[in-house]
Amino acid sequence: MKIGIITFHCGDNYGAVLQAFALFHKMQELFTSADVFIVDYRPIYIKKMFSLFRNRNIFYFINSILQLPFSLMIKYHFNHFRKKHYKYISIHNTGSLDFIVCGSDQIWNPLITKGLDDHYFGFFDGFSGKAVAYAASDGGNIEKDGDSNKIERYLNNLSAISVREKSMIPIIQKYHKNGIASIDPVFLPGVSFWTRNAQKQKFQNYILVYRVLPNDTILRDAEQIAKQTNKHIIEIRFGIPYKNLFSIKHTVLPVVSIPDFLSLFLYADFVLTNSFHGTAFSVIFNKQFCSYKINDSISSRITDLLSDIELTERYVECSVETITKKIDYQTVNEKIKQKCLSANSYILESLGKS
């Protein structure tokens, strides 16, 4: 049996790369006699999103020139990780596949894919096998494509559908006879897998800040907590840290490899983030954390996750009292274990292995 996974594997984004790696690993684990591949689909809109030069206006272009050394190092780290851990199949050879697994990540978000992209629903020239979806996400935007007939046709090309956010289920049921919500792939391999893939510890006694979009409230809260707990702030941030370049209490890391990214979460005392995968790895590594809102559609993936594991109290502007209140991770880990078992069953059944 040959299985291909199609997802956002080529973007220089920690969450995208790690969820692809996690699902690839889990497929290999569940189907030991199968050949598992990442379908090497690199659409132009993803390439532009992570291009070295931003031409939106003269200021973006100048900034991209200034950031170029950091951008090149980041690109090197991501490419090195993909080369080491992925096994690719060309989009021109998908006809040899028995199954295509679509997901995870926001592959059904037409605002990212510039209109729904049929490849992420299993449409490939020459492919005659079954296409299924695992934990696909739409960022709350699938119906913004505006063509209900297209949505129905695309969804009904899939023999089984699981989505990442339970809030998507009513939409899926409008166009398709069934659909379930499944946990993000990064939870499937388990904490020991991620610990093995993390770099050795480099820092101690720190608060980790990871923002996917600017949020001054996170920094304000981190600074207050650091002052009261006598901890250092370490921030993962792409590019030149202009504002905090000379701060001795706030270290900004503009170039972080993927093993270092995992290590920074693994060894942090506290985590403040507005990232879905930042929240996910905080939970995986049983960290004391707070997650912050971006907007309703983007943050729904965080609130759905935290609701499922009964940690909605961590979706809040942070304080020392909040972040030092111990999370009952024995209960949380059991909930995640059950969700992973359900996910494994769904994958096995969808790909015909009972």
| High-pLDDT (> 70) share of the chain, % | 94
> 109-164, pLDDT tens digit by residue?
999 999 999 999 999 999 999 999 999 999 889 998 778 999 999 999 999 999 99
Instruction: State mean pLDDT over 254-266.
Output: 97
Q: How confident is the model at residue 245 (pLDDT cuts 50, 70, 90)?
A: low
Handedness of CA 17, 19, 22, 27 (dihedral sign): negative
Q: What is the pLDDT of residues 157-191, one digit of tens each?
A: 999 999 999 889 999 999 877 899 999 999 999 99
Give the pLDDT of residue 314: 95
Kindly indicate the confidence band of residue 242, based on its pLDDT and cuts at 50, 70 and 90. low
* pLDDT class of 327 with cuts at 50, 70, 90: very high
Assess contact for 114 and 145: CB atoms under 8 A: no
Q: How many Å apart are CA 154 and CA 110, to the nearest integer?
A: 13
Q: Is 102 exposed, middle or buried (0-12, 13-18, 19+ CB in 10 A)?
A: buried
Least confidently predicted of 165-169, 193-197, 227-231, 280-284: 165-169
What is the band of 235 on the pLDDT scale with cuts at 50, 70, 90?
very high
Q: In what order do the strands lie in the sheet with 288-291?
A: 250-253, 232-236, 206-210, 270-273, 288-291
Count of beta carbons in the 10 Å neighbourhood of residue 7: 27
Entry pTM: 0.93
Average pLDDT estimate for 287-306: 86
